[in-house]
Amino acid sequence: MADAAVVDAIGHFLPEGRETNEELASRIDTSDEWIRTRTGIAARSRADADQPTSELATSAGRDALRRASVDDVDTVIVATTTPDMKCPATAPVVADALGLAGAATFDINSACTGFLAGLATASGLIATGNARSVLLIGAEKYSSIIYPYDRGTAPIFGDGAAAMVLRPGTAREWGSIGRVHLGSDGGLWSLAHVRTGGSQYPVASDDPHDPYLRMDGRATYRHAVERMTQSCVQALKHEALTAEAVDLLVAHQANARILREVARELEIPPERALVDLTDVGNTAAASIPLALSRAQQREDLRGGETLLLTAFGAGASWGATVLRWPALGTAN
């Protein structure tokens, strides 16, 4: 009898466009060395101006669905900070494009922690019988909310999407989703925010407020390391595991320095911390599933690996979970 949600398939989509560090340095005061040293990023993915988040999400969803063993997906969840519109949600647009008529659909906005929040939600829906199977997508077009001349954000964020199909199964199976430890501190909302467009600062022709993402990089770095480390310790303790049992740390791909520092705090060797942002940048809610999907397609993941997933994002929000990766194969 099914008592858990299990990973059935994973896929991703990256737009063809790239902006290199050299291209970025031609318009703002920075350099390839400065960006690489501080972020580990050499280039970031860029969607076309007329390519919305829903299009990225649809392509990633299609990739995951063609790899799936199930054909009765009845729920679509899109984790995103960059929806196509304020209303309606992006998920129903994606479901329609994928031909999933009648599916339950909704978005989750928990910034870079969005995929983990979506994983907890999807798992709960399946475990309680409120969904047969779920298509969970992390998708972002951060180029739509980044001020192109902001030295603090323009070098960091990229565009992309990744999707996971979850099916009913048992808690004993590889790929089963266990406890996802989530937390937040609303007092830290100003660490990363976009002020314009909500009910407090609605859009108006004479709007004086900033419509772009603004981020306190130093404070975000400090809180990200602290909160991701704490949530990882909590997740490992819940599973009665130590860091030695972790085959791969898959953290939100915010910054290579943050990833290395979290690994160091957890006493996980650097070679067991997945770094997947060099050529795509920080893709926010898409970064964890994107890193997993690309590792799967490179055959770096073969099944049976103990993964520690963790994220920190605006809100502030954070989370972590332990996942034993299933044997999915690479074909299709």
Q: Would you please indicate which residues are annotated as catalytic (active-site) residues?
A: 112, 252, 282
CB of 312 closer than 8 Å to CB of 191:
no
Residues linked to residue 45 through DSSP beta bridges, in sequence order: 18
SS3 at position 324: strand
Strand segments (E) across the chain = 4-13, 17-20, 43-46, 75-79, 104-108, 134-141, 159-169, 181-184, 192-193, 214-215, 248-251, 306-313, 317-324
Residues in contact with 289: Cβ distance below 8 Å, sequence separation at least 6, in sequence order: 10, 12, 115, 136, 137, 138, 162, 163, 164
Compute the 3-state secondary structure of the chain and give helix, strand, coil in percent, each to the nearest 5: 35, 25, 40
Tokens 């050299």, residue?
22
Tokens 């790929």, residue?
175
